[in-house]
């Protein structure tokens, strides 16, 4: 099945800074999604982005399915952006099983 | 509100006991997923249902684990003879109402096995 690699594994930012998180996939990307896990463990769906670019406020995401990667941009970071960011993709054709990356742990300092 | 309710939120049990977790999607969805997440890791797929049918199970799901979705609405995940290695967050997810493929997770059930 598909392997998902996320980078960087850890990131510390000063409030107001911008950042880019990346997901690389070993195989075809399907139904790619980005999630934010808050300090209480809740996984929040940020973007459903099989391809192309989407923006939601200070966050935007781009998926280049042909090159098997996706990027999440965070601009003007805030302390509430802290947490762990995961990307996930279907593991292959003919299945609805989603595979998650190991996450990027973000800490935004005031 | 993600539209997925999980119960209990926390469970502490002794090794060897059985535990059961419940997932209640607020709206009916044909697919329902269970994931497990241990500290510092991403969610790991356990199983998913299409209506009542359990279509796929991970090899992580040993004989001690069983999941059901009897009427195609709520689901239960039972762990028998718990082991300390079962300590984890157990997450339930369903697609959004538009059924586009987006996953929405409940708040999870955190299991601690002493």
Report which DSSP code applies to B16.
T
Q: Contact A42/B108, CB-based, under 8 Å?
A: yes
- Nearest one of A70, A85, A9, A63 to B43, comparing CA atoms: A85
Tell me which of A9, A30, A96, A103 to substitute to probe the interface with B (most B C-beta atoms closer than 10 Å).
A96
pLDDT at B1: 61
> What sign does the CA torsion over A63, A73, A47, A100 have?
positive
Question: What is the average per-residue pLDDT within A39-68?
Answer: 94
Which of A45, A95, A101 has its CB closest to that of B42?
A101
Burial-class residue B76 by CB neighbours within 10 Å (0-12, 13-18, 19+).
Answer: middle
Q: What is the CA radius of gyration of chain B?
A: 13
Helix, strand, coil percent content, chain B, rounded in steps of 5: 5, 50, 45
Query: pLDDT tens across B72-83, in order?
Result: 889 999 999 999
Query: pLDDT tens across B20-31, in order?
Result: 999 998 777 788
Which of chain A's residues have a Cβ under 8 Å away from the Cβ of B41?
Answer: 102-103
- CA closest to A103 among chain B residues: B42
Query: pLDDT tens across B46-76, in order?
Result: 999 998 999 999 987 889 999 999 988 899 9
């Amino acid at each position: 099945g598909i392997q998902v690699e996320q980078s960087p594994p850890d990131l510390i930012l000063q409030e107001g800074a911008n950042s880019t998180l990346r997901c690389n996939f070993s195989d075809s990307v399907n139904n790619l999604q980005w999630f934010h896990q808050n300090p209480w463990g809740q996984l929040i769906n940020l973007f459903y982005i099989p391809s192309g670019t989407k923006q939601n406020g200070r966050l935007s995401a781009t998926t280049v399915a042909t090159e098997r990667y996706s990027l999440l941009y965070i601009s003007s970071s805030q302390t509430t952006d802290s947490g762990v960011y995961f990307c996930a993709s279907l593991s292959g054709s003919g299945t609805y099983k989603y595979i998650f990356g190991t996450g990027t742990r973000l800490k935004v300092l005031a | 509100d993600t539209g997925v309710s999980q119960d209990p939120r926390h469970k502490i049990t002794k090794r060897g006991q059985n535990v059961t977790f419940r997932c209640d999607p607020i709206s009916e969805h044909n697919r329902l997923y269970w994931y497990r997440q241990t500290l510092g890791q991403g969610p790991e797929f356990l199983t998913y249902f299409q209506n009542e049918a359990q279509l796929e199970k991970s090899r992580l799901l040993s004989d001690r684990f069983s999941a059901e979705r009897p009427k195609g609405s709520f689901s239960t995940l039972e762990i028998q003879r718990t082991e300390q290695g079962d300590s984890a967050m157990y997450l339930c997810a369903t697609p959004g109402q538009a059924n586009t493929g987006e996953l929405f997770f409940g708040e999870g059930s955190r299991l601690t096995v002493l």
